[in-house]
Structure formats: C-alpha cells, structure tokens
Structure 1
Amino acid sequence: MHDYLIAIIQGIVEGITEFLPVSSTGHQVLAGELLGFTGEKAATFEIVIQLGAILAVAIIYWRRLLSILGIGIGNSADRHTHPLQKLNLLHVIMACLPASVLGLVLHSFIKNYLFSPYFVLAGLVLGGAFMLYGEKKQVAVKAESIDQISYKQAFSIGLFQCLSLWPGFSRSGATIAGGLLTGTSYKASTHFSFLIAVPMLVAASSYEMLKSYNTLTSADTGFFITGFVVAFVVAMLAVVTFLKLLDKLKLAPFAYYRFGLAVVFLGYLLFH
C-alpha cells in the first residue's frame, strides 16, 4: 500500500505541474526527496507518469496536432488563404530543435550534476525571476493568435526553451515568458508552449525509457499503471482549468509560488 500511495502522490504532483510554469521536474525531485523515493526505479517511474501527462495534452489538442501533421481538419479554402500564417510542422520543428540538440549534447552533465535538490531550488528561483522579467518587459504583440506566430518567433521561443534544461527552471515558464519577449501574446505563447511540449516530451521520455527500461519488472506493473493513470487524469484537469483562467492568471503568481517553495524547501534541507 505504501508503494501505491507514493504512485498516487507522485502522479498528482506530475499531473498538476507538468504544464504549469512551476517545473514538474523540480517538483518530482523535491517530492521524491520528501518521500524517500529516489534512484533508478524513481527515475523510470517519473518517465512513465510524464507520458500520462503528455497523453492528456495530446487529447486536448488532438485537432490542432493533426492539422500540424497535415491531416486536414476544417475548411480547406481557409488553409490556402493564409498558408504562411497557419501554424505548421516547420514552426514546431524550429521551436523544438535548439533544446533537442543542446539536451543531447549536455545530457550526461545535466543528469550527473544538476539533479540535486539544491540545483533544483536554484532553478526554481532563476526560472521565477525570468518569468517576472518576461512579463514586465513584454514587447509589442505581433502575434495575437497561435496562427500568427512567425518562424522567427518560433525559433526564438525554442532558444528560450533551452533554459528549461536546468531542472527546476520550467519548460512552460521559459517558453511562455520567452514568447512574451518575442512579441507573442500571453494566450498564444501558452497554447504554443503546450503544443510543442508534446513532441519535446515524447522524444525526451522515449530516449530516457530506452536507457532505463531494464529496471522495470512485472511486480512493478500495478505501481506504474497507477501513477500513469493518476498523472493523466490530473494533468487533464489542470490544463483545462489553466486554459480557462488564462485571462486572469498571469505568470507572476506562479513565480512567487516558486520563490516560496524554494525558501520552504531550503529550510527543510538545512534543518532536517
């Protein structure tokens, strides 16, 4: 029962934090520290529950994802009217390329040195500061909707996404704040952040799974399935709720939450 309780707690943490600008990786590391759930099994489990969260977003955005892949949905005449404005696969590739390449180059360094709780806490603070900076220094909006994002903006957002390779920084926080700094509206930046998360996280999770699948045993099946399902359901609820509150909920509250979490957990590490 203790293992299943861990699966449920970690699944909830993953589902809530994966697509919000608070860093799911940071929360998983800190939660694992509190629960005493670390090591190879924990690392593999985090990959599995991340796939549950990704599935939730893929379902929410299924029409748009099919459209990006060229599987036509909607008015064909409209697709030909503004072919350069319509968000397409090249936008996604350009946004995913920088972090994918840099992540492969720095993979061993990141895994070996940046996953300690102290580095995660630093990432939480730095990521929160960047989010406040992006919100304060937002430039004049050039892309109000996701279909108005240019290739240059997509690539620039991809460069900002590289910041999230630091555990605790937050991929969605980096891309949304980066979008604001490139002239993309808050709403368009958020939707674009969620969309490019699907290929980025699927690729990263698949890579990690290939390296660690041998740690799985049949005895762990129920444990892993429980975490996957919990993460899927909670992520679905979290993303839908966040999208409904986009006009009211900006980046600043998430940044201040990150600062508070870092202070509280630093106290725990120092005095535990």
Structure 2
Amino acid sequence: MDLNLIALIMGIVEGLTEYLPISSTGHLILVGSWLGFTGETAKIFEVFIQLGSILAIAVLYRHRFYSFLTLAQFQKKGLNLLHIFLGILPAAVLGFVFYDWIKTLFSPYVVVFALLAGAILMIAAQLAKRKVTAESLDQLTYRQAFLIGLFQTLALWPGFSRAGATISGGLLLGASYKTAAEFSFLVAVPIMFGTTGFDLIKNLDVLHPQDFGVFAIGFVTAFVVAMLAVVTFLKVLNRLKLIPFAIYRILLAGVLFYYLYF
C-alpha cells in the first residue's frame, strides 16, 4: 500500500482515538499490523503524529493555556497552573524513572489485557454512587487534581488509555463528565509533549529526510481529526457516558486476541 495513504489512515486513527477512552495505542498497533506498517520508522511515526493531537488540544484550549501564563490566575479562585502540575506529577515521575521498562511493555499481548482492565475501571466509575462536587474545571480542588494524576499513571500501561484512566478517576473523585474529560485533555498536553519529545530525541537517528512528507501527512491528519473528535466527544459524553466505550474496548480486545492467537 502507498505510504502516503497509510500515513493518512494512521493519522485518522490517532486523531480519533487519542482523547477518547478507547486506547490510541491499541488501535495503532492493530491497524499498523493490518497495514503491514511496522518497524522502527513506524514506531517513530506513531510517536510523531501524537504531536498533531497535542496541537489540537493546545488550539482548542488556547485561552485556558494562556491564562496559566499570567500571575492573575493565582489571584482568583479556579483552575490554575498548580492544578495541572499536580495532575501530571505522578505520571511524569513514574514515566521518567521506569521509561526503559515501560517501553518493553509495548506489545499487542500487553495491550489486550490493558484494554480489558481499563474497561472494568470505566464501568465501575460510571456505576459508582458519587456526589458531584466539581461541575466545572474551576471547581476542581488541588486534592482532586493530584488524585486524578495518580489515576493517570495507569496509562503508563500501554493500552489502558490515558483518557479512560483520568476520566474514570475524575468521576470517582466527584467531577462531572465534562469536567473530568476536559481536565483529562489539559493534563494530557504536557505529559504527551514530554514523552513524545523525549522519544523523538532518543530516536533521531531513525529519521530520514525522505520520511518528511509521510510524517507531515500523518501529523496534519491527526491534528484535524483530533479537533473534530474532541468537540464531538464533549457533546455526546453526557448522553453516552462511559459504558458504551467500555463495551467497545472489550470487543476490541477480543478482535486483537483473535488476531494474535488464531
């Protein structure tokens, strides 16, 4: 298959799945295998196009990110940079300390079980009786931000889904669906930027000038599709909630299991 078409398909998959609680890693591994797009260049391509998804959130929430850079944010109540710092701290520390070991976990076999475990957490988060204390981002406490950050460490398990872990954690800690999702998006940006940047720096020797066009197609596609996916997801989340996404994960795990063993 033409590499440009593969880049387009992979960009669509990345953009659709990165911020939904269905595991972008699981989808990229499965689709990449089906397309025969594997190897070191493919792995770096998957890392690179995540930058397109990051840029989508940066654009959609540009006013919120800009407010984090002003001193005025600390002079009034509401979400500020400390919330974000507390939300990314646990995953950043564990990700840095166990980076090499985590990279050994990136295999379809590990992803199958992560998909199932994440689905169980999402179902539990929806069914749990809870009192909503944060109807908006500005009502989140520092404690909630940090504890959601602890849930985000589950996403270090490839296939678990960062969105699935943080949204579930947010719900269990008293955030509304929209608040949990939006905080998940915001804390994903620095985490993803750090991890993808680190991965790219460590693997610069794999990149070649002739790869630029393919990488650009994947990047732009992931950016556009991620923007559309996030806006749509926020509109339907209150109606669908998490269980339909959990059921989809279970079905995906079954497909991936069949693909691996039969």
Residue in 1 that maps onto 2:3: 3
Residue in 2 that maps onto 1:255: 246
Residues of 2 paired with 1:270 and 1:34: CA distance?
A: 15
**Structure 2, unaligned stretches of length 5 or more?**
none
Q: Where do residues 201-220 of structure 1 align in structure 2 (5 Å cutoff)? A: 201-220=192-211
One of 56, 80, 86 as aligned partner of 1:88: 80
Q: Structure 1 residues 96 and 214, CA, compared in 2 at 3 Å: closer, same or farther?
A: same
Residue in 2 that maps onto 1:13: 13
Shift of 1:37: 1.6
Q: Percent identity?
A: 55
Residue in 2 that maps onto 1:101: 93
Residue in 2 that maps onto 1:187: 178
SS of structure 2 residue aligned to 1:48: helix
Matched, 1:122 2:143: no
Q: Could you tell me which amino acid in structure 2 is paired with residue 52 of structure 1? A: G
Shift of 1:34: 1.6
TM-score relative to the length of structure 2: 0.96
Shift of 1:247: 2.2
Alignment RMSD = 1.4
Q: Could you tell me which amino acid in structure 1 is paired with residue 259 of structure 2? A: Y
4+ aligned runs moved over 6 Å, structure 1: none
The number of residue pairs the alignment matches comes to 262
Q: Could you tell me which amino acid in structure 1 is paired with residue 79 of structure 2? A: L
Shift of 1:67: 1.0
Residues of 2 paired with 1:101 and 1:247: CA distance?
A: 32
Q: Could you tell me which amino acid in structure 2 is paired with residue 119 of structure 1? A: V
Q: Could you tell me which amino acid in structure 1 is paired with residue 180 of structure 2? A: S
Kept after mapping to 2: 8 A contact 1:138/1:180: no
SS of structure 2 residue aligned to 1:248: helix
Residue in 2 that maps onto 1:61: 61
Residues of 2 paired with 1:246 and 1:96: CA distance?
A: 23
